[in-house]
Amino acid sequence: MKKIINPWSNKEGYNCFGCSKKNTSGLQMDFYEDGDEIVSVWKPQPQFQGWIDTLHGGIQAVLLDEICAWAILRKLQTTGVTSKMETRYMKAVSTNDAFLTLRATIQEVKRNLVVIEGRLYNAAGELCTKAICTYFTFSQDKVKEEMAFMGCEVEEKEVKQINC
Protein backbone atom coordinates (compact mmCIF):
# COMPACT_ATOMS: atom_id res chain seq x y z
CA MET A 1 0.00 0.00 0.00
CA LYS A 2 1.31 3.46 -0.91
CA LYS A 3 0.29 6.90 0.32
CA ILE A 4 -1.29 9.11 -2.33
CA ILE A 5 0.23 12.57 -2.62
CA ASN A 6 -2.39 15.32 -2.57
CA PRO A 7 -1.70 17.34 -5.75
CA TRP A 8 -3.42 20.46 -4.38
CA SER A 9 -1.95 20.57 -0.86
CA ASN A 10 0.20 23.63 -1.65
CA LYS A 11 -2.27 25.43 -3.92
CA GLU A 12 -3.39 28.81 -2.61
CA GLY A 13 -7.09 28.85 -1.72
CA TYR A 14 -7.36 25.05 -1.47
CA ASN A 15 -9.60 24.34 1.54
CA CYS A 16 -11.49 21.11 0.79
CA PHE A 17 -13.72 20.01 3.69
CA GLY A 18 -12.83 16.38 3.05
CA CYS A 19 -9.08 16.35 2.53
CA SER A 20 -7.37 19.70 3.13
CA LYS A 21 -5.00 19.60 6.10
CA LYS A 22 -5.41 23.40 6.36
CA ASN A 23 -9.17 23.16 6.96
CA THR A 24 -9.33 22.94 10.76
CA SER A 25 -13.11 22.32 10.65
CA GLY A 26 -12.78 19.61 8.00
CA LEU A 27 -12.17 15.87 7.97
CA GLN A 28 -8.48 16.08 6.89
CA MET A 29 -8.53 12.67 5.20
CA ASP A 30 -5.44 10.89 3.83
CA PHE A 31 -5.59 8.30 1.05
CA TYR A 32 -3.65 5.18 0.08
CA GLU A 33 -3.57 2.98 -2.99
CA ASP A 34 -3.95 -0.74 -2.30
CA GLY A 35 -4.17 -2.62 -5.59
CA ASP A 36 -7.45 -1.68 -7.26
CA GLU A 37 -8.73 0.02 -4.11
CA ILE A 38 -8.28 3.44 -2.57
CA VAL A 39 -8.15 3.29 1.23
CA SER A 40 -8.49 5.87 3.98
CA VAL A 41 -8.25 5.37 7.72
CA TRP A 42 -9.98 8.10 9.68
CA LYS A 43 -10.44 8.85 13.38
CA PRO A 44 -14.00 9.91 14.26
CA GLN A 45 -14.24 13.06 16.38
CA PRO A 46 -17.07 14.03 18.77
CA GLN A 47 -17.82 17.27 16.86
CA PHE A 48 -19.02 15.11 13.94
CA GLN A 49 -21.72 13.28 15.90
CA GLY A 50 -25.44 13.35 15.17
CA TRP A 51 -26.98 11.45 18.06
CA ILE A 52 -24.89 10.91 21.21
CA ASP A 53 -21.68 9.04 20.36
CA THR A 54 -22.97 8.34 16.83
CA LEU A 55 -21.30 9.62 13.67
CA HIS A 56 -23.67 11.88 11.73
CA GLY A 57 -25.00 10.30 8.54
CA GLY A 58 -24.07 13.40 6.55
CA ILE A 59 -20.44 13.08 7.67
CA GLN A 60 -20.49 9.41 6.63
CA ALA A 61 -21.76 10.51 3.21
CA VAL A 62 -18.96 13.09 2.93
CA LEU A 63 -16.35 10.47 3.83
CA LEU A 64 -17.68 8.11 1.17
CA ASP A 65 -18.08 10.81 -1.47
CA GLU A 66 -14.52 11.99 -0.86
CA ILE A 67 -12.91 8.56 -1.12
CA CYS A 68 -14.85 7.89 -4.32
CA ALA A 69 -13.51 11.15 -5.75
CA TRP A 70 -9.98 10.08 -4.88
CA ALA A 71 -10.50 6.77 -6.68
CA ILE A 72 -11.11 8.78 -9.85
CA LEU A 73 -8.24 11.14 -9.12
CA ARG A 74 -5.70 8.37 -8.70
CA LYS A 75 -6.97 5.61 -10.98
CA LEU A 76 -8.16 7.73 -13.91
CA GLN A 77 -5.83 10.72 -13.40
CA THR A 78 -8.65 13.24 -13.68
CA THR A 79 -11.35 14.72 -11.51
CA GLY A 80 -15.05 15.40 -11.72
CA VAL A 81 -18.22 16.13 -9.81
CA THR A 82 -20.71 13.89 -8.05
CA SER A 83 -23.72 13.34 -10.25
CA LYS A 84 -25.58 10.85 -8.06
CA MET A 85 -24.94 9.15 -4.74
CA GLU A 86 -26.96 6.28 -3.27
CA THR A 87 -26.06 5.65 0.36
CA ARG A 88 -27.11 2.68 2.45
CA TYR A 89 -26.69 2.97 6.23
CA MET A 90 -26.56 -0.54 7.69
CA LYS A 91 -25.07 -0.13 11.16
CA ALA A 92 -24.59 2.85 13.48
CA VAL A 93 -21.04 4.20 13.55
CA SER A 94 -19.66 5.19 16.95
CA THR A 95 -17.65 8.36 17.38
CA ASN A 96 -15.78 6.43 20.09
CA ASP A 97 -14.24 3.97 17.59
CA ALA A 98 -10.45 4.16 17.48
CA PHE A 99 -10.62 4.43 13.68
CA LEU A 100 -12.80 3.82 10.64
CA THR A 101 -11.62 2.31 7.37
CA LEU A 102 -12.98 3.47 4.04
CA ARG A 103 -12.43 1.69 0.75
CA ALA A 104 -13.43 2.64 -2.79
CA THR A 105 -13.32 0.71 -6.05
CA ILE A 106 -14.23 1.83 -9.55
CA GLN A 107 -17.05 -0.39 -10.81
CA GLU A 108 -17.73 0.98 -14.29
CA VAL A 109 -16.54 3.63 -16.74
CA LYS A 110 -18.80 4.77 -19.60
CA ARG A 111 -17.27 7.71 -21.45
CA ASN A 112 -17.19 10.48 -18.83
CA LEU A 113 -19.47 8.74 -16.30
CA VAL A 114 -17.77 6.68 -13.61
CA VAL A 115 -19.49 4.49 -11.02
CA ILE A 116 -17.57 3.86 -7.79
CA GLU A 117 -18.48 1.76 -4.78
CA GLY A 118 -17.42 3.20 -1.42
CA ARG A 119 -17.55 1.28 1.85
CA LEU A 120 -17.15 2.39 5.46
CA TYR A 121 -16.07 -0.14 8.11
CA ASN A 122 -15.89 0.30 11.88
CA ALA A 123 -12.83 -0.64 13.94
CA ALA A 124 -14.16 -4.21 14.29
CA GLY A 125 -14.14 -4.53 10.49
CA GLU A 126 -17.94 -4.54 10.18
CA LEU A 127 -19.43 -2.92 7.07
CA CYS A 128 -21.54 -0.02 8.35
CA THR A 129 -22.26 2.14 5.33
CA LYS A 130 -22.05 1.66 1.58
CA ALA A 131 -22.43 4.15 -1.25
CA ILE A 132 -22.61 3.91 -5.00
CA CYS A 133 -21.41 7.19 -6.46
CA THR A 134 -21.76 8.24 -10.07
CA TYR A 135 -19.33 10.95 -11.14
CA PHE A 136 -19.26 13.14 -14.20
CA THR A 137 -15.55 13.35 -15.02
CA PHE A 138 -13.64 16.02 -16.88
CA SER A 139 -11.19 15.46 -19.69
CA GLN A 140 -7.53 15.40 -18.70
CA ASP A 141 -6.96 18.44 -20.92
CA LYS A 142 -9.63 20.41 -19.06
CA VAL A 143 -8.26 19.61 -15.59
CA LYS A 144 -4.74 20.53 -16.73
CA GLU A 145 -5.88 23.87 -18.13
CA GLU A 146 -8.47 24.91 -15.55
CA MET A 147 -7.19 23.27 -12.36
CA ALA A 148 -3.46 23.03 -13.07
CA PHE A 149 -3.76 19.30 -12.40
CA MET A 150 -0.65 17.50 -13.56
CA GLY A 151 -1.36 14.09 -12.09
CA CYS A 152 -1.90 12.24 -8.85
CA GLU A 153 1.11 10.24 -7.70
CA VAL A 154 2.00 8.00 -4.77
CA GLU A 155 4.97 8.07 -2.43
CA GLU A 156 7.74 5.60 -3.28
CA LYS A 157 7.86 3.72 0.00
CA GLU A 158 5.31 1.08 0.97
CA VAL A 159 3.15 1.70 4.04
CA LYS A 160 2.61 -1.36 6.21
CA GLN A 161 0.31 0.22 8.77
CA ILE A 162 -1.81 3.35 8.64
CA ASN A 163 -2.02 5.39 11.81
CA CYS A 164 -4.60 8.09 12.38
Given this model, what pLDDT does residue 150 score?
Answer: 85
Per-residue pLDDT of the chain (164 residues), as tens digits, is 999 999 999 889 999 999 999 999 999 999 999 999 999 999 999 999 999 999 999 999 999 999 999 999 999 999 999 999 999 999 999 999 999 999 999 999 999 999 999 999 999 999 999 999 999 999 988 988 888 888 899 998 888 777 76
Given this model, what pLDDT does residue 55 score?
Answer: 98
Q: Report the CATH number that the domain containing residue 41 is assigned in CATH.
A: 3.10.129.10
Given this model, what pLDDT does residue 148 score?
Answer: 82
Q: Quick one: CA torsion of 151, 152, 156, 161, rounded to 10 degrees?
A: 180
In a domain, 88, yes or no: yes
In a domain, 36, yes or no: yes
Global pTM? 0.95
Given this model, what pLDDT does residue 4 score?
Answer: 97
**Exposure of 56 by Cβ count < 10 A (0-12 exposed, 13-18 middle, 19+ buried)?**
middle
Residue 94: other Cβ atoms inside 10 A? 16
Helix H, strand E, coil C: the string for the chain is: CEEECCCCCCCCCCCCCCCCCCCCCCCCCCCEEECCEEEEEECCCHHHECCCCEECHHHHHHHHHHHHHHHHHHHCCCCEEEEEEEEEECCCCECCCCCEEEEEEEEEEECCEEEEEEEEECCCCCEEEEEEEEEEECCHHHHHHHHCCCCCCECCCCCCCCCC
In a domain, 77, yes or no: yes
In a domain, 159, yes or no: no
Which structural domain range is residue 130 located in? 2-147
Given this model, what pLDDT does residue 164 score?
Answer: 63
In a domain, 13, yes or no: yes
Q: What angle do CA 27, 64, 85 make, to 5 degrees?
A: 130
In a domain, 67, yes or no: yes
In a domain, 32, yes or no: yes
Q: What angle do CA 109, 112, 114 make, to 5 degrees?
A: 40
In a domain, 153, yes or no: no
Please tell me the distance from the alpha carbon of residue 26 to that of residue 93, in angstroms, as a whole number. 18
Q: How many domains does the chain have?
A: 1
Distance of CA 20 to the CA centre of its chain: 12
